[in-house]
Amino acid sequence: MNFLSVENLTKTFGDRLIFEDLTFGIEQGQKAAIVAKNGKGKSTLLKCLLGSEPFDDGRVVFRKDIRVAYLEQAENLDESHTIIEEVFKHDLPKLKVVKEYNKAMKENDEKRIEELFVEISELNAWDTEVKVQQILSKLKLDNVELPISVLSGGQKKRVALAKVLIAEPDFLILDEPTNHLDLDMIEWLEEYLGTSKSTILMVTHDRYFLEVVCDTILELEDHTIYKYKGNFSYYLEKKAEREEQFETTVTKARSKMRTELEWMRRQPKARGTKQKARIDSFHDLKKVAKQNINKEELELGVKMERLGTKILELHKIGKSFGDKKIIEDLTYTFKRNERLGIVGNNGTGKSTFLNMIMGRESLDKGKIVIGETVVFGYYSQENIQVDENMKVIDVIRDIAEYIPLEKGRQMSAAQFLEKFLFPRDMHYNYVYKLSGGEKRRLKLMTVLMANPNFLILDEPTNDLDIFVLNVLEDYLRTFQGALIIVSHDRYFMDKMVDHLFVFEGEGQIKDIIGNYTAYREHLKEADKQEKEENRQRKKEEQSVAAKVEVVEQPKPVVEKRKLSYKEKTEFEALDGEIMELEEEKEKLTAVLSNPDVSSDELNEASKRLGEVVAEIEQKSDRWMELAEFI
């Protein structure tokens, strides 16, 4: 069943063609991603599909009666709302009744709670309540009464994400959903979307996301769409095959064109004396032969000073902000070919640590010793600090007209820009006209032009497309200096680092040998073991509590009327039955709180929980009735 049909879609900005005659469809249940170089129109295409951006020609048709939710890069939230008010701002009956129920619970309105309890049960909305709590918890939006106006940019992005996920749309459109999420959140979202029944269309630079979640890749290139029915690995393989075939076709066309050109030149000028079909064929061949097959590559051999024996030493350094500890007594000596990755939840002090090394942040205690031969190249999360009215090439020329390379060679500013995938027609563009990713790439150029031998990169992959990331990785693999990387890009970290500093909070930093994937597997195994130990401990505690409860039961009051044999048998059986039901209730509650169970399991558990609670009440009332006559 087709959820989205796009036919002959064309979009221009002035004289600039963004895309032309795009035709593709998205089927129900499909999980597709749009990939393209920065500035090539990914976000524009999404806006055209949703009607928030006009297009020049073509048509976009969504299937009738489906609900569509859109997560855009710039969150659009009501600043006067609290978090909980904003995420519940939907017209869905289930969300409305859960919202009212939470309000009644807060106001302790017992009559209204009772009414809504029945309504929630009728709508089978208990799983919705659990899902809302699960999503808010996973995205670390625990204080739901906070107003939107006081939230940071990252928190607002997470609220916007929670809002579209809670809506349970038929068609989910996501523009960079992993931005501002820490690694735990990204992995949770990856699993959540992978098991979601929603049809999904996304734009993301997270290559693990593309690998695990997506089953279709739509590449926007040369103003058109290339469709690949597979994940990211499949796309890379088939794209390479397509480019190889294209290169062969153009090479053959150029070879044949030389022969045809000679034939054209030998013919009389009068058109009537030439073979029209062959002339038309020549012009078609000329179009193919003129296509560019030069691959844009970032190959750099920038000259750098060799590192000496002393590089960077940290001696019992410490840093706090008020009562919040960032680093506590950290001692470490960096080696010549250090390749360190830094991970940790947002707010644990990763960027602060880098700023301390660079002297931008003071130490509370300890000292940092930097070797005399060290030349830092620091790529921070801040935007490039240049006049927005400068031309791109002037930004580079202000640093140096020529860049020294290895073996005495040099490269002009224009050549350097081309190596960084800025073609000649962009050199005289103003900085303010660049996309976010292009500005980040320009900033990276200015860092590398200083010929550093110690690179510190704070979230270098943000806003860089997958094509730039691939060539940046190629460069860093051959980089001969020391390297520190802070990144939420798991794919990037796996390829670049050989050990990790894990910022655990409260000033604790753990040094882990291996890349990011090895670290996460270790964490999963430790978490699994901890859960099993907790389960066994809880089971033992419940067993002890049950025995105590039986021992400490009050002596029944003896009444004149005695129980019949049948009533005695019933009374004796009730204890065991109630205990079994209480245990089942515990298990069902655990299922409803488990983020890993499917929606079908949640529905079944929610339904059964209602039945169990009713049975416990009924049997407890009967036990008390019979106990009066013992």
Burial of 73 (0-12, 13-18, 19+ CB in 10 A): middle
What is the residue-wise DSSP string for 450-466?
A: T--SEEEEESTTTT--H
The pLDDT value given to residue 557: 47
CATH of domain 522-627: 1.10.287
Class of domain 1-66+170-230 (CATH, top level): alpha beta
381 close to 355: Cβ distance less than 8 angstroms: no
- Which superfamily does CATH assign the domain made up of 312-514 to? P-loop containing nucleotide triphosphate hydrolases (3.40.50.300)
Q: Is 186 helix (H, G, I), strand (E, B) or coil?
A: helix
Which of 56-60, 70-74, 107-111, 266-270 holds the top average pLDDT? 56-60
Please say whether the dihedral angle defined by the alpha carbons of residues 20, 23, 27 and 30, taken in this order, is positive or negative. negative
- The answer, yes or no, to whether residue 546 has pLDDT greater than 70, is no
The pLDDT value given to residue 556: 47
Instruction: Name the residue with tokens 């890009």.
Output: 489
The pLDDT value given to residue 515: 87
| Bridge pairing between strands 68-71 and 339-344 | unpaired
The band of 588, judged by pLDDT with boundaries at 50, 70 and 90, is: confident
The pLDDT value given to residue 87: 85
- The answer, yes or no, to whether residue 476 has pLDDT greater than 80, is yes
In this structure, what are the phi and psi dihedrals at residue 552, rounded to the nearest 5 degrees?
A: -90, 10
Task: Say if 1-66+170-230 and 522-627 have the same CATH topology.
Answer: no
In angstroms, rounded to a whole number, what is the distance separating the alpha carbons of residues 542 and 538? 6
Q: Is 555 helix (H, G, I), strand (E, B) or coil?
A: coil
Eight-state DSSP code of residue 563: P
**Domains of the chain: which residue ranges?**
1-66+170-230, 77-160, 237-289, 312-514, 522-627
Q: Per the structure block, which two tokens stand in for 402?
A: 């020529």
The pLDDT value given to residue 298: 46
Q: Report the candidate in 329, 354, 564 with the shortest Cα–Cα distance to residue 459.
A: 354
The band of 553, judged by pLDDT with boundaries at 50, 70 and 90, is: low
Helix axes 93-107, 110-123, angle to 10 degrees: 160
Give the total residue count for the chain: 630
Q: What do you get for the CA distance between the two ends of the chain, in Å?
A: 67
Q: 106-127: b or e for each residue (b if 16 or more CB lie within 10 Å)?
A: eeeeeeeeeebeebbeeeebbb
343 close to 183: Cβ distance less than 8 angstroms: yes
